Structure 1
Amino acid sequence: MKKSIVALAVLGSFAGVAAAQSSVTLFGVVDAAMRYTSANGKSVYSLASGGNTTSRFGVRGVEDLGGGLKAGFWLESQVNLDAGSADATRFWSRRATVSLISDTMGEVRLGRFKTSVRLQIEDFDPTATTGLGATTNLYSALGSGVDMSRRDNQVSYSLPGNLGGFYGSVDVAAGEGSSAINKDVGGRVGYKAGAFNVGAAYSESGVSTKFKLMSLGGSYDMGFMKAFATYSTTEFGAHSQDIYNLSVTAPIGAGLVWAGYTAADYSGPKVGSISGDSSQIAAGYVHNLSKRTALYTSVSYIDNKAGANFSLNGNNPAVNKDGRSGGFDVGVKHSF
């Protein structure tokens, strides 16, 4: 009897070690907003998914391999909360990666994920490029067909977090013969210490005529207010665009108020929808009911000139050239 008890205790200790070395987490966000948008004298009332944070569902895990080395995976799917649907063409549309992670050497990641330059833009946007007030509402791919957010077939490397505030990453994506524009190379470098953060990123996509995206950003947290500034430029053939953004956030009690102004200036021939200048002014408030649940509201207004037709809410309602698009929403977000 005593031997059995000892054996069970030994097995239990090994099980405890195994559990400590490996973990799998189910996570997600459910976010929906009641939204009103208008353009060209038309109005649309809708229920929008991801008004503050993209609704998502995922599973991720890490295994400790010993010696400061870990293996990790991350699978994440977008959820359209208004219709209960996922991406129509791919299930793990937001992220599908496997990684080797070293405490001292950094992380090597393989799969589908955001590019370094997209992470750069998100870090200096109070909305993290989500919702009515996202700065990326005015970014244009200039007719290239490039996805400015994520890449398939990507291999990336990120610096470790022990470099005294310096951070960075590089990524390469293979076209795999499907489309030359899917070939991509990019990188990011920055420095963050205390209240100060500054970074720069650049990427090139394609083979012959390349789509180029560069972004510079900085932020400073003064306690009562945090200020952001971003300058980005896109280029494809004879077409180019310069995007400027100034934003602020300020804590108010259990919440956070934010506001931002974005301007996009186009240069090049006026061809189809690839033309024109635009500006956007946006603001919002997020009220935290708990660490995982928040109420929010946001308002945004886009003014187009010189033939541009940028819009809100997925171009619903559609915006004519030189038109205006405005809207506001009220929603709730819950993380798990």
Structure 2
Amino acid sequence: MSARISSNKRKRKKSFMTKPNRMPRSLRKAGTILSTLLLGASLIPSASAEDGVAVTGLVDLGLMVQHANGRTNATMESGNNKTSTIDIRGTEAISEDLWVRAASYVSFMTDNGALYEDGVLFDGTALTLGSKTFGEVALGRMGALKSTDGDMSQFSLAEGYSPMGANLPHAGLAYIFTCDGTLNNTIGYASPSFSGYRFFAQYSNGVTTETGIGADDDRLFTASVLYNNHGKLRFGAIATYHTHGSLEEKHNATKDIMVSMNYDFDAFRLYLTYQHVFDGLGPNTMLRARAFGFGASEEGFDTDSFMAGVMKDLEGGTLSAVFQASRSEYKGDAKDGNLSTSGWRINPAAIYRYPISRRTTLWTALSWTHGYGMYRRVKDHPIDNPNATTWGAGVTHFF
């Protein structure tokens, strides 16, 4: 199970500056019911690899130390290497060619027991009808193509748009690039493989809420192509069109294109990723205009982001290192004639993962981020501080 990308609009990721909200009683009760369902599911024998019920998951927990704005904070953190998750899926083979799958997963914070997203029990739940000949059609709440969530995640299927993953503070994809997280009210299509090539499409009729025909909800359309023949070369491209009808102020649709490749040179694997965003809500997944003190704008941010990274086997484990950079420009009202409306951000980072068993991995990571221009105005942001040094270490266990 891969890491979850947090969306600043809907999701709450526990930060260095905030305390988690108490889980609603109804969800605590639902958790008891879920435990009963999990026990029942674990007792159901699987008829075959394609016909039965499976319960899997992972738990990730570590210590994170961050220095920013002259202060140092140390906290117990969950989900920085990968998000703690319980995954339940049942599959039925209808014929030699057709099958159906119901899949749900619950993401949670190991350090305090809270659900990963407030007010949501299942972080993803989708019904998929699949054909070996024609591909898969999925309906429900699912991870976006431009995320590490769900069965259609391009980041996971490409076996990495970044060797760092997604969640690690100031090192994962969401801190430099614009990603999409989990989508409600969604239909998705995944083609079968054609000599390593696969094609994908998703449409969400209401990323957060769906209020009816003719309503001005947030809508998202994404299409992608992926090449992964499990050889030396892998690459992919994702195009996204995202409207923002639920915002109080008018905002143009956000358009972006993201391309990535990685290649195995035997001694190491090289990763390269680039994204251009038109009319974004912010310069990345986390920050929004108000964090910079900017006024409203229909055009928002234009951003170019780049990542170069390597992954190398080292002393029984895996060392990954990246250098990320982005340049963003705000096209609205700065409210202050002396306030810069553009800026660069640079971000080197590294993580070492060491498996101590088939299911358990130790990890330690270090990241540094520094912003210029408009980024100097961002102070004490609860999720993303553009000027910070972060070190962490922890353990991830799969079950």
Q: State the TM-score, normalized to the length of structure 2.
A: 0.72
1:19 equivalent among 40, 47, 56: 47
**Conservation of the 8 A alpha-carbon contact between 2:327 and 2:342:** no
**Conservation of the 8 A alpha-carbon contact between 2:273 and 2:308:** yes
1:250 equivalent among 291, 312, 318: 312
Within 5 Å, give how 1:232-311 maps onto structure 2: 232-236=275-279, 237-269=299-331, 271=333, 275-308=342-375
Say if 2:196 is the partner of 1:165: yes
Within 5 Å, give how 1:33-52 maps onto structure 2: 33-52=62-81
Q: Distance in 1 between matches of 2:46 and 2:107?
A: 32
3-state SS, counterpart of residue 136 of structure 1: helix
- In the alignment, which residue of structure 2 is the partner of 1:202? 239
Is the radius of gyration larger for structure 1 or structure 2? Answer: 1
Q: Distance in 1 between matches of 2:381 and 2:161?
A: 25
- Greater share of residues in strand: 1
1:104 equivalent among 125, 130, 133: 133
- In the alignment, which residue of structure 1 is the partner of 2:118? 88
Offset at 1:22? 2.6
**Conservation of the 8 A alpha-carbon contact between 2:211 and 2:217:** no
**Conservation of the 8 A alpha-carbon contact between 2:97 and 2:133:** yes
Within 5 Å, give how 1:53-64 maps onto structure 2: 53-64=82-93
Q: Distance in 2 between matches of 1:280 and 1:330?
A: 19
- In the alignment, which residue of structure 2 is the partner of 1:13? none
- Identify if the C-alpha distance between structure 1 residues 45 and 24 changes in structure 2 by more than 3 Å, giving closer, same or farther: same
Within 5 Å, give how 1:77-156 maps onto structure 2: 77-86=106-115, 87-93=117-123, 95-118=124-147, 119-121=153-155, 123-132=160-169, 133-139=171-177, 148-156=180-188
- Identify if the C-alpha distance between structure 1 residues 296 and 309 changes in structure 2 by more than 3 Å, giving closer, same or farther: farther
Letter in 1 for 2:63: M
**Conservation of the 8 A alpha-carbon contact between 2:175 and 2:384:** no
- Identify if the C-alpha distance between structure 1 residues 48 and 310 changes in structure 2 by more than 3 Å, giving closer, same or farther: farther
3-state SS, counterpart of residue 47 of structure 2: helix
Q: Distance in 2 between matches of 1:210 and 1:113?
A: 21
Q: Distance in 1 between matches of 2:93 and 2:383?
A: 50
Offset at 1:211? 1.1
Q: Distance in 2 between matches of 1:58 and 1:300?
A: 30
Q: Distance in 1 between matches of 2:97 and 2:308?
A: 40
Say if 2:256 is the partner of 1:213: yes
Give aligned-pair identity as a percent.
22
Q: Distance in 2 between matches of 1:173 and 1:318?
A: 27
**Conservation of the 8 A alpha-carbon contact between 1:295 and 1:333:** yes
- In the alignment, which residue of structure 1 is the partner of 2:393? 330
- Identify if the C-alpha distance between structure 1 residues 304 and 74 changes in structure 2 by more than 3 Å, giving closer, same or farther: same
3-state SS, counterpart of residue 168 of structure 2: coil
Between the two proteins, the alignment pairs up a number of residues equal to 309
Letter in 2 for 1:19: A
Letter in 2 for 1:325: A
Structure 1 vs Structure 2 CA RMSD: 2.6
Offset at 1:311? 8.6
Q: Which one is further off, 58-67 or 20-29?
A: 20-29
**Conservation of the 8 A alpha-carbon contact between 1:241 and 1:267:** yes
Letter in 2 for 1:152: N
3-state SS, counterpart of residue 155 of structure 1: strand
- In the alignment, which residue of structure 2 is the partner of 1:8? none
Q: Distance in 2 between matches of 1:295 and 1:317?
A: 24
Within 5 Å, give how 1:61-80 maps onto structure 2: 61-80=90-109
Offset at 1:267? 2.2
- In the alignment, which residue of structure 1 is the partner of 2:224? 188
Offset at 1:253? 3.5
Q: Distance in 1 between matches of 2:53 and 2:377?
A: 41
- In the alignment, which residue of structure 1 is the partner of 2:284? none
CA deviations 1:10-48 (Å, max 9, x no partner) are: xxxxxx998336311111110001110011101110011
Q: Distance in 2 between matches of 1:203 and 1:329?
A: 33
Offset at 1:115? 1.7
Letter in 1 for 2:47: A
Q: Distance in 2 between matches of 1:50 and 1:310?
A: 28
Q: State the TM-score, normalized to the length of structure 1.
A: 0.85
Offset at 1:91? 0.9
Q: Distance in 2 between matches of 1:244 and 1:124?
A: 11
- Identify if the C-alpha distance between structure 1 residues 91 and 311 changes in structure 2 by more than 3 Å, giving closer, same or farther: farther
Offset at 1:318? 7.3
CA deviations 1:145-192 (Å, max 9, x no partner) are: xx722211110000113x111012001110223874521111110222
Offset at 1:61? 1.5
